Amino acid sequence: MQYLLTEQQKSQAGEFQNIRERERQAVCREMDREQKIPESVIEMLAKLGYLGCSLPPQNGGHGWDMVTFGLLNEALGRGCSSLNGVVTVQTMVSKALLKWGSGEQIQKWIPMLARGEIIGAFALTESGAGSDIHSLVTEFTHSRGDVLVLNGGKKWITCGQFASLFLVFGKLGDRSLACLVPRETPGLEVEPIHDLVGFRAAGLAKLAFNNVEVPPANVVGKPGFALSHVAPVGLHYGRISTACSALGLLRGCFEESVAGRPRER
């Protein structure tokens, strides 16, 4: 399929393939055993510009097209699915915020996400609401003035253990709503999920929201648009990233099988 790529895409694909060696030097196997990605590895992704790869240059990103984004995810997935998860979720949060966030939100958060100064988490999935996102029970209620109060929980949130900013989805009455919740917000509790079969270093976590106050400035989009407009932008990139990552993992398995040598344990 190389003949379908532009010369620039071919060049970038070669660069992405080389990161596999850097991943091994960063001991991906040890990350899996320790169930943790070292800060130095995330800093490496940020320095290479991979955490803001799909954002426009004026917002601090590379402005890569979808094919280049897919090539990156294929290369990362071939070496370490957990590491690829960081790029996936960072892109999901930043692209959804870029599309539907206010001017103030974009100005405040997007450059930091693009540079990897903060890590985002896409807080959609719940114990009883995975693919059926309309079954969310996380709830927003009105408090004083325009301030909202958030209660509920999320589960299986990738990067939740170390994320600085959560894009949270819930219901305000019969309307869906999305908001930004910084990690230090009072009432937010993060419980790590350990000993998974795969993605052991991806920082999955369970979140609990106990009377978390959400100011109007942190609401993304408007009530009723969260599940129909905001979430689909992030999920679009998440699905492409996951598919390309799976292709990379499959390619890696095939290559190791053909090589006929036992993998180091």
The reply to whether 75 and 138 lie within a common domain is no
The reply to whether 132 and 195 lie within a common domain is yes
Question: Given this model, what pLDDT does residue 251 score?
Answer: 86
Residue 108's CATH number: 1.10.540.10
Question: Given this model, what pLDDT does residue 65 score?
Answer: 93
User: Using an 8 Å Cβ cutoff, are 109 and 165 in contact?
Assistant: yes
CA pair distance 143, 264, nearest whole angstrom: 56
Residue 239: pLDDT band with limits 50, 70, 90: very high
CA pair distance 82, 207, nearest whole angstrom: 19
The reply to whether 223 and 236 lie within a common domain is no
Asked if residue 66 is part of any domain, the answer here is yes
User: What tokens were used for 193?
Assistant: 């999920």
The reply to whether 98 and 143 lie within a common domain is no
Going from the C-alpha of 170 to that of each of 11, 70, 99, the distances in angstroms are 42, 30, 19
Digit-coded pLDDT (tens) for 98-132: 999 999 999 999 999 999 999 999 999 999 887 77
The reply to whether 15 and 104 lie within a common domain is yes
**Residue 242 in this model has a pLDDT that exceeds 60:** yes
Asked if residue 264 is part of any domain, the answer here is no
The reply to whether 242 and 216 lie within a common domain is no
Asked if residue 3 is part of any domain, the answer here is no
Question: Given this model, what pLDDT does residue 221 score?
Answer: 96
Task: Give the residues across from 205 on adjacent strands.
Answer: 157, 192
* pLDDT higher at 255 or 260: 255
DSSP state of 117: S
Asked if residue 265 is part of any domain, the answer here is no
CA pair distance 233, 40, nearest whole angstrom: 29
What angle, 0 to 180 degrees and rounded to 10, lies between the N-to-C axes of helices 81-100 and 231-259?
Answer: 160
Asked if residue 2 is part of any domain, the answer here is no
Residue 158's CATH number: 2.40.110.10
How many domains does the chain contain in total? 2
Give the chain's mean pLDDT: 91
**Residue 11 in this model has a pLDDT that exceeds 90:** no
Can you give the three-state secondary structure of 149-178, one letter per residue?
EEEEEEEEECCCCCCCEEEEEEEECCEEEE
* pLDDT higher at 203 or 128: 203
For the entire predicted model, the pTM comes to 0.91
Asked if residue 1 is part of any domain, the answer here is no
The reply to whether 193 and 247 lie within a common domain is no
Nearest to 233 by CA among 54, 48, 15: 54
Question: Given this model, what pLDDT does residue 32 score?
Answer: 87
The reply to whether 113 and 29 lie within a common domain is yes
Asked if residue 253 is part of any domain, the answer here is yes
Asked if residue 13 is part of any domain, the answer here is yes
> Going along the chain, which residue ranges are E strands?
120-123, 139-142, 148-157, 165-172, 175-182, 188-192, 205-214, 219-220
Ordered alpha helix ranges (H), 130-261: 231-259
Q: Is 55 exposed, middle or buried (0-12, 13-18, 19+ CB in 10 A)?
A: buried
Question: Given this model, what pLDDT does residue 217 score?
Answer: 97
User: Percent of the chain, pLDDT > 90?
Assistant: 69
The reply to whether 73 and 102 lie within a common domain is yes
Which residue segment(s) compose the domain that 58 sits in? 8-118+231-259
Nearest to 122 by CA among 88, 79, 77: 88
The reply to whether 64 and 193 lie within a common domain is no
The reply to whether 125 and 222 lie within a common domain is yes
The reply to whether 126 and 207 lie within a common domain is yes
Digit-coded pLDDT (tens) for 32-84: 889 999 898 899 899 999 999 999 999 999 999 999 999 999 999 888 889 89
* pLDDT higher at 21 or 242: 242
Q: What share of the chain is helix, strand, coil (3-state, %, to 5)?
A: 50, 20, 30
